[in-house]
Amino acid sequence: MNKEITELKPEKVFKYFAEILQIPRPSKKEGKIIAYLINWAEQRKLDVQKDQIGNVIIRKLATKGYETKPWVCLQSHMDMVCEKNSDKVFDFEKDPIEAYVEDGWLKAKGTTLGADDGIGMAIALAILDSDDIEHGNLECLFTVDEETGLSGAEALSADALKSRILINLDSEDEGELFIGCAGGKDTLAKLPYETEPSPKGIAYKITVNGAKGGHSGDDINKGLANANKVLNRILWTLNKEMEYALASFEGGNLRNAIAREANAVVVVSKDDSQQMISMVEQYNDDIRFEFRSTEPNLKVRIEEIETPKEVLDSMTQEDLLNLLYAIPHGVLSMSREIPNFVETSTNLASIKMIDNCFVISTSQRSSIETAKEAACDRNEACFLLVGADVSHGDGYPGWAPNPDSKILKVAEQSYERLFGKKPIVRAIHAGLECGLIGEKYKGMDMISFGPTLRGVHSPDEKLEIKTVQLCWEHTLDILRNV
């Protein structure tokens, strides 16, 4: 185990986080972390249950003098987003996360760290494993598959929890208490293509990389580059200036992450090759200037490669480039009631070539259900214009803020008492499982908070170490005073 991590404060939290880092836990493949949790609870003779989909609940009775306090649920999710840099050799189903400390932050080498939401799990386990923490009856809910559809929370039975107070440990800004979140829904389009023999000429691979990526909800308003949109923009511009054949276009990976990398292969005549190189190099300068304050490492490069045997049919090439230019990405509307709060957004998440189809994934979010559906419909309209087959996911509901929440008042008073300042109370544009849990448990009193994370859903993910101690102290004080 990494001694550099286990010696961080609070020690018990980082001890368990270090253990979690050793356990592969991709979404929908959480078997190893489920087994770890069950074995962990059984060793400590705690009540543990696993439901049909894989959610785990561990219960611990109240400490002496706290028996009359209400049941409280600490909730976190087991799975993590599995993103890595293209040059990193790593198997998320087998390899432990390689974490290290740098300048007050905990980071991972070339991959996501998984502090979303491994650190929430670690806080819950540290509380369950302590004999000197005062609390009422406690149950810790660890859900599966939060990152790719919230199916664990969706499948949770309506009688699984005893609590009617829930603290979600899956937020990313210490000092902020969240009382609402956006709902979300995915859209998938399949655009079929034909191939034809590659024309005579020179083949080039055009690559966009170095973008930060990030969370498609919480980071959507931060002016970050979407590699899919950047790459398509140069291809569309080249298409106006010269004839070339497109052999491939792929970019992005996960529906809940902003695309960091994208690449395309084109074949152009020898006569136009130098102009293409010059235009791409100029575009690299232009795009770096446009994103100079938010994407200092963004790059567009072109390199000659072996000519492919086949390219796309010309009609699909035109349709694809027009579609990707027209389809929206980013903030669609801001809230009219909450200052500086994103109401509705869409993310052009990934473009893949599978079985002679371009498979294009987008994700839409909104705190207003009708606006969420309208964003999905808008994307569908773009896809239908080029004859693509379109389908939508089931989606998940938002979590409506309750400013009169009792647990919110306890948390606010606790924070001010501990740290001498008021916490920020707000809603988040990202999706939280609170929406689904609240739908099943009417009247569930909920808040969400956590230590500070940055670069979530990307290999730049990092956890600010000092904020874990603050979050720990805050959680313990809430449990004493709820």
* C-alpha–C-alpha distance, residues 243 and 246, integer Å: 10
Instruction: Look at the chain and count its residues.
Output: 482
User: Distance between CA 186 and CA 373 in Å, rounded?
Assistant: 10
Q: Going by C-beta distance under 8 Å and a sequence separation of 6 or more, which residues neighbour residue 109?
A: 88, 98, 99, 100
Say which residues have a Cβ less than 8 Å from residue 148's Cβ, sequence separation at least 6.
Answer: 27, 28, 79, 254, 255, 256
Cα–Cα distance measured from residue 225 to residue 209, given in angstroms and rounded to the nearest whole number: 10
Q: What is the DSSP string of 414-428?
A: HHHHHHSSPPEEEEE
- 274 residue type, one letter: Q
Other beta carbons within 10 Å of 48: 17
Residue corresponding to tokens 């300068």: 285
379 to 96, 212, 226, 233, 251: CA distances (angstroms): 38, 24, 17, 18, 18
| Dist. CA 272–CA 293, nearest whole Å | 33
CB 117 within 8 A of CB 21: no
As annotated, the active-site residues are 79, 146
- Separation of alpha carbons 269 and 250, rounded Å: 23
- Please give the Cα distance from 177 to 172 (Å, whole number): 10
What's the Rg (C-alpha) of the chain?
Answer: 24
Label the pairing between strands 262-268 and 330-334: unpaired
Nearest to 72 by CA among 133, 137, 124, 122: 137
Cα separation, 403 vs 359, in Å, equals 42
Residues 73 and 94 sit within 8 Å (Cβ to Cβ): no
